[in-house]
A and B are shown apart, each in its own frame.
Chain A
């Protein structure tokens, strides 16, 4: 039976320059990192840039990760800080709205045009609905409903209480259901 390496073990090997170990960490945490960045930025393309940048920064600062068993929390704090800085710079530089949906990201790979178009439309509606939420609610709903993170860990990451996370999650869900209409009513499994 294959047992996945612990974060601490992968971090130790990555510190020694083992590319396979670092790639395993990237594959394990790119999705939650993306959820965090998307929660802050509301824009998948920008979230991708921030994630890439954050993983490289994390590798450079890997020796500063004092508790490698909690690598995920450490990494996601880097992602979140970088996303917040990015958002601030973007708003100051361009004066553009904080949420801007990337058409390239929404277009997908185009392998099955009909299915891809449907998925793209759904993705676009979700992103537009998420863009209406305040970032604090968006971060919580993405981490919980997309990545399955428990309330307590989300609270630790965001520096807030578990109770506050629960409240924000319920507010976000209620708001999103209102914006998305009936389709989420018929799909409670997700």
Chain B
């Protein structure tokens, strides 16, 4: 078995430095348009624009969906809104009691007397 390598260095294309540099330069000249195209495509403004486009498209889709939802639900939303009763009214407490609760104050004796009067007149 022959394990010794053959000396092929005379075939090394980089032996002639000038010719080697010319070959590299020739490839770079021919590659210049593609490199320029890639550099332009990778510029920050274009990258931002690339991100901005899908964001715009998403916003447009959301707007359309929102508009469609409003149009479908519009009839139901147009009726008069019922007033939401406050807790004291919902529990049918006399009005003075509701005021104490709202004001978060302890009633005085006079207030209690008034409440008894008002509560008594409640329907």
Contact = CB atoms under 8 A, between A and B. Distances in A.
Interface residues of A, number: 48
Interface string A169-190: 0101110110010001001111
Nearest to B25: A23
A123 interface: yes
Given A34-B13, A127-B11, A19 B6 contact: no
**Max chain A C-beta neighbours (<10 A), residue from B20, B23, B31:** B31
B64 interface: no
Contacts of B20: 30
Nearest to B1: A170
Interface residues of B, number: 36
Label chain B's interface by main secondary structure.
helix
Nearest to B21: A27
A142 B42 CA distance: 39
B16 A108 contact: yes
A184 B8 CA distance: 10
A95 to B, nearest CB: 27
B34 interface: yes
A18 B39 contact: yes
29 contacts: A15-B42, A17-B36, A19-B32, A19-B35, A26-B24, A26-B28, A27-B24, A30-B23, A30-B24, A38-B11, A44-B13, A55-B31, A56-B27, A56-B34, A60-B34, A108-B15, A109-B19, A111-B18, A119-B15, A123-B10, A123-B11, A126-B11, A130-B11, A146-B11, A170-B3, A173-B5, A184-B7, A188-B4, A190-B7
